[in-house]
Amino acid sequence: MKCRHCASSLTNVFLDLGFAPPSNAYLSEAALCAPETSFPLKLFVCNQCGLVQTEDYASADQLFSGDYAYFSSVSRSWLAHAEKYADMITGQLKLNDKSLVIEVAANDGYLLRNFVAAGIPCLGIEPTASTAEAAEQLGIPVLREFFGADVARQLAEQGRRADLIIGNNVYAHVPDINDFTTGLRLALKPGGTITLEFPHLMRLVEEVQFDTVYHEHFSYLSLGTVATIFRAAGLRICDVEELPTHGGSLRIYGCHADDPRQDTDAPARILAAEVRSGIDQFGGEAYRSFQTRANVVKDGLLTFLIEQKRAGKKVAAYGAAAKGNTLLNYAGVKPDLLPFVCDAAPSKQGKFLPGSHIPIVSPDALAEAKPDLVLILPWNIADEVAAQLAFIRNWGGKFAVAVPAIHVF
């Protein structure tokens, strides 16, 4: 396999999680009787450009089907995050009814709804039919395509280049990152701004967030590597923010390479932090030790669940999230240790987790089952979930997270 950015040969294995089904391929009850497709789940780090990337097996259309079950609006904290961003960027860029905002991977309209409400013209680009339909019902125009250079050229030819292009948690999901980045440049007006949010590789390494690895994430991104990819496409990173979302993310601000605006000091500051963490040394200790550290987390979860079973404790899980599927499948957890998982998304309820085949039910099931412990799989929103499910404490129930280590609270 060759690096998706620089085409160098990939020989440096960063993490090997064995085989797993696509993490968002939730199963119907009927599908439990059929064969289930699994793919190798292995990460390489490129020794030339530093791009951490999955081994190339599953294609995008296998991973993002028309019934894709992830709806961004389910999380109230994520809706608040989107609203805060929309207010901030509208003021900063002085967006108005003559502007055009394009969001790539617009999902169910969780973000663009704020621009519609403000009277700012916008366009969502979203290939999955289920989420695109939800966005359209909010009055958001949606182009049902995978974004790349060809789509961007079409938009430019139609005079629809954007003042602002937004991509939240999509940059890691694109199999051809060079084509996607070229598309950003082609679809951006002179003087326009790109903002991309993505989980920060530095935080993944430091906090053993191996459960954020799944087939839908083709790339795992540092600021240094993204800056390299941007430069190759004729773009520049002029500012960057660190965000708490998804366990620690970056929001980069990009522009055309010849844009006259000055860079802030933030990119240099975060690049220096990456050097201190060791992730700029592509064959270094930060990468070499990661598999062992991930195995400690996996073994810790399995031991903990077995101990609860032997003690006669009832355990349930909350959040049929992709990261939970990676964790449960790598640990080999089945319904005997975790009988069910609750999720607030109606699109997931009544289905089964891929691989583990743990049933997904409504959070209402907790009141009936009265578990002693609720394992919160999306640990990045543990505080939000614990507040929503505080009623479990009425019978002495507690919460737990497994990453970066078992923590009961």
Q: What is the pLDDT of residues 149-174, one digit of tens each?
A: 999 999 999 999 999 999 999 999 99
Residue corresponding to tokens 């996996």: 298
Q: What percent of the chain has pLDDT over 70?
A: 97
The pLDDT assigned to 50 comes to: 96
| Confidence grade of residue 63 (pLDDT, cut at 50, 70, 90) | low
Sheet holding 101-104, edge to edge: 142-143, 122-125, 101-104, 162-168, 188-199, 249-256, 235-243
pLDDT higher than 80, residue 292: yes
The pLDDT of residue 57 = 65
Q: What is the pLDDT of residue 401?
A: 98
Select from 3.40.1520.20, 3.90.1150.10, 3.30.70.100, 3.40.50.150 the CATH code of 72-286.
3.40.50.150
Residue 44 clears pLDDT 90, i.e. is over it:
yes
Mean pLDDT, the chain, rounded, equals 95
DSSP secondary structure code for residue 199 in this structure: E
Model confidence pLDDT, tens digit, residues 305-354: 999 999 999 999 999 989 999 999 999 999 999 999 999 989 899 999 99
Tokens of 359: 């049933």
**H helices within 122-259, ranges in order?**
129-136, 149-157, 177-187, 201-206, 223-232
Question: DSSP per residue over 37-51, as a string?
Answer: --EEEEEEE-TTT--
- For CA atoms 385, 387, 391, 393, give the dihedral sign: positive
Same fold, 72-286 and 301-408: yes
Q: Are 202 and 277 in contact (CB under 8 A)?
A: yes
Q: Is residue 355 left, alpha or beta, with left meaning phi > 0 and alpha meaning psi from -120 to 50? A: left
Neighbours of 55 (CB within 10 A): 17
Q: Tell me: cis bond preceding 404? Omega within 30 of 0 counts.
A: yes
Q: Sort 390 into a burial class: Cβ within 10 Å, 0-12 / 13-18 / 19+.
A: exposed
Of 63-72, 85-94, 103-112, 212-221, least confident by mean pLDDT is: 63-72
Domain map (residue ranges) of the chain: 72-286, 301-408
**What is the structure's pLDDT at 283?**
87
What pLDDT score does 187 carry?
98
Instruction: Tell me how far apart the alpha carbons of residues 178 and 369 are, in angstroms, rounded to a whole number.
Output: 49
Does the structure show a pLDDT above 70 at 288?
Answer: yes
Q: What is the pLDDT of residues 119-130, one digit of tens each?
A: 999 999 999 999
Q: Mark out the alpha helices in 14-68 (DSSP H runs).
A: 60-63
The class of domain 301-408 in CATH terms is alpha beta
For the cut 60, the answer to whether the pLDDT of residue 68 exceeds it is no
pLDDT in tens, 246-271: 899 999 999 999 999 999 999 999 99
Rg, the chain, Cα only? 21
Q: Using an 8 Å Cβ cutoff, are 3 and 53 in contact?
A: yes
Alpha-carbon separation of residue 164 from 83, 157, 230, 286 (angstroms): 16, 17, 16, 36
Comparing C-alpha atoms, which of 178, 161, 280 is closest to residue 235? 178
- Strand-strand pairing, 52-54 and 219-220: antiparallel
Taking the C-alpha atoms of residue 286 and residue 278, their distance in angstroms, rounded to an integer, is: 6
**With bands split at pLDDT 50, 70 and 90, how would you rate the model's confidence at 58?**
low
Q: What CA–CA distances, in Å, run from 62 to 38, 127, 213?
A: 11, 12, 17
CB 85 within 8 A of CB 77: no
Range from 83-87, 195-199, 380-384 carrying the lowest mean pLDDT: 380-384
8 Å CB contact between 194 and 79: no
pLDDT at 76: 82
Tell me the CB-side half-sphere exposure of residue 328, using CA atoms within 13 A: 33
Closest CA to 20 of 336, 325, 377: 325
Give the pLDDT of residue 74. 72
**Sign of the C-alpha dihedral computed for residues 210, 211, 212 and 216 taken in this order:** positive
Phi and psi (nearest 5°) for 31?
A: -70, -15
> What's the pLDDT at 266?
98
Assess whether pLDDT exceeds 80 at residue 69.
Answer: no
For 347-400, write each residue's pLDDT tens digit.
Answer: 899 999 999 999 999 999 999 999 999 999 999 999 999 999 999 999 999 999
CA distance 387 to 177: 38
pLDDT value of position 62: 52
